[in-house]
Amino acid sequence: MLTRKGKYGLKALVHLSEIPVGKLALVNEIAVANNIPKKFLDAILGELRNAGFVQSRKGREGGYRLARPASEIKIGHVIRVLDGPLAPIPCASRTRYEPCDDCDEATCHVRHMMLEVRQAMADVLDNRSLAEMRDMFGREEIGTDAAADLKYNI
């Protein structure tokens, strides 16, 4: 499950991807616009800076911006930085594997299902960029007739 930290981090990155190139956004501006507690956002942005997703500048003209184009930032990477492995259980993780002490991994039906779940999540999250996530707003789960109606304000 995506934690609040992961969700807030993704929301902040989307916010930063929407500002003009070369401009900076203040932490308070990001926090207010996305309903994120400022103190929590400060810590999240620090982690995102350390991971190379954002750059910051201190001082009067300071703020945050993306460190690279939104099209180069993969959602799966961001989630792993902020929340850890994608796998729902440790024995299904590729990056932080831990064996279970209560079952035989070769025959454990739960593990095999969770391996499939982990792979499905990775297939989506590791192949979607921040730009794609930002740009998909309004297009998800609406039928073609509804989409046409919205497009032409019918």
Q: Which domains does the chain have, with CATH numbers?
A: 4-66 (1.10.10.10), 73-135 (no CATH)
| Average pLDDT of the segment spanning 71-97 | 93
Q: What is the structure's pLDDT at 145?
A: 47
Could you tell me the pTM of the whole model? 0.82
Is 70 exceeded by the pLDDT of residue 147? no
Amino acid identity for residue 27 in this structure: V
Q: Residue 138 corresponds to which tokens in the numbers above?
A: 């309004």
pLDDT of residue 138: 59
Of the pLDDT bands very low, low, confident and very high (cuts 50, 70, 90), residue 44 is: very high
Structure token digits, residue 31: 């926090």
